[in-house]
Structure 1
Amino acid sequence: MKRFEKEINGKLIVVNAEKELRPQIESLFLILENIDEEKLTDDFSIQIGWSIFYLIKKNDEYILQSPDYSKNPFKDITQDLTLALWVQLEQSHFLRKLNIEGETTKFSDKVIAAKNVLQQENIYLQRTSDVEKGDSGWYIGPVNDADDTDELEAFYAYQLLKIRPSLIQVLGLPYNYMVVFRNDKIKAVLDENDESLEFG
């Protein structure tokens, strides 16, 4: 883990993350530079894509922190932003490959799945737009109809990091998109018109 720091509006802002994430960290600093000076204080928080970031004052520094996705992100926070920034990177990288604008899924949004589908080899994810607050719109089902079930289970989006992390990259896709996976490999992406997209 590497320490990055930048003075913004007279405050020393500190970010800790793996050095490979420098471009994401520079983007974070840029966003903070555009926040009103009086808002940028101890306990300031901001939602950026998947994650929330908190500014915590310690001595003369303001340390940027995020929910700890390796524990319980609803109550645990961490100074290591590697995981939060890695998710942002994975999702934005995938959207760039498709050359489309995305739709945010927050770590705390619900994902609905056919029961035990995440243990299966061939699955699909489909996102519907008719959703309530706190629901991502994502449904995960089996590609093979014989494996389908009426029994459902729900996860928070962040829980996929532990259960099947390869799915995280596609969660920023727009509504009405569909993705087919075989194991951890994406086999197809379909847009809202059921047109297959190139993603090489």
Structure 2
Amino acid sequence: MKQFKRSINGKSVAVKAEAKLKPQVDLLYKFLSNIETSNIIDGYSIQIGWAVYFIRGAGDSFQLTVPNFSTNPFEDETTDLTVALWIQLQQSHFLRKVNVDGETIKFSDKVVVAKNILQKSDIYLQRSDGQEKGDSGWYSGAVNEVDDTDELEAFYAYQLLKIRPELIKVLALPFEYMVIFNNDEIKAVLDAEDNDIWLSTK
């Protein structure tokens, strides 16, 4: 773990994360440099991709925190930004790999799944537009009919970190896209016209 410190508009802002995530930390500081100086105050928050970043501190010394995804991100915060930055890296890397502009998903957005389907090997995820605020548009179902069920359950997106973390990286794909998984392996990524764009990455 490394503590980074930089001056943003005359105020010291510290970031803690794994040292190997320095490129992501640099991008985060670049984003922060565009914040109005008057907003660099205790309690100011800003959403960047998946996570919400909070400025904590007083005077001219501040620390960034994020929701704690390993406990209760709606109540708990952590100064360790590693998970938030890692997810941002994974999602942006995946979008570059398939050469697609993404659609933001927040850690607190809901993902609807066929009941118990996330324990199955062969599943698909499909994202539909026109959802209410707080709904990611993602639905996960069974590839094989024998595994299918009409019963549904919903999870917050961050809960997939514990249930099936390999799904996290694809969640920033646009609406009307589908991803087919076999265990941890992506088998296909279908765009809105049902073209398999995953083939072109092989």
Fold match, TM over 0.5? yes
Change (3 A) 1:78 1:58: farther
The structure 1 segments of at least 4 consecutive aligned residues displaced by more than 6 Å after TM superposition are none
Could you tell me which runs of 5 or more consecutive residues in structure 2 were left unpaired when the two chains were aligned.
none
- 2:65 alignment counterpart: 65
Pairs within 5 Å for 1:148-167: 148-167=148-167
TM-score (norm 1): 0.98
What is the distance in 2 between the residues matched to 1:114 and 1:172? 20
Pairs within 5 Å for 1:1-200: 1-57=1-57, 60-197=60-197, 198-200=200-202
* 1:58 CA displacement: 5.5
Give the aligned residue type for 2:52. I
What is the distance in 2 between the residues matched to 1:107 and 1:78? 15
What is the CA deviation profile of residues 27-62 of structure 1, one whole-angstrom value per residue up to 9, with x for unaligned ones?
A: 110111011111121111000010000000057520
Give the aligned residue type for 2:201. F
What is the CA deviation profile of residues 5-43 of structure 1, one whole-angstrom value per residue up to 9, with x for unaligned ones?
A: 100111100000001111111111011101111112111
Give the aligned residue type for 1:80. D
What is the distance in 2 between the residues matched to 1:58 and 1:144? 56
What is the CA deviation profile of residues 66-125 of structure 1, one whole-angstrom value per residue up to 9, with x for unaligned ones?
A: 000011100010000000001000000000001110001100000000000000000000
The two structures, once aligned, show a CA RMSD in angstroms of: 1.0
What is the CA deviation profile of residues 110-165 of structure 1, one whole-angstrom value per residue up to 9, with x for unaligned ones?
A: 00000000000000000000201000000000100121110000000000000000
Could you tell me which runs of 5 or more consecutive residues in structure 1 were left unpaired when the two chains were aligned.
none
Percent of aligned pairs with the same amino acid: 58
Give the aligned residue type for 1:98. V
Name which of structure 1's ranges 38-47 and 169-178 shifts more when overlaid on structure 2: 38-47
TM-score (norm 2): 0.97
What is the distance in 2 between the residues matched to 1:140 and 1:78? 30
Name which of structure 1's ranges 187-196 and 58-67 shifts more when overlaid on structure 2: 58-67
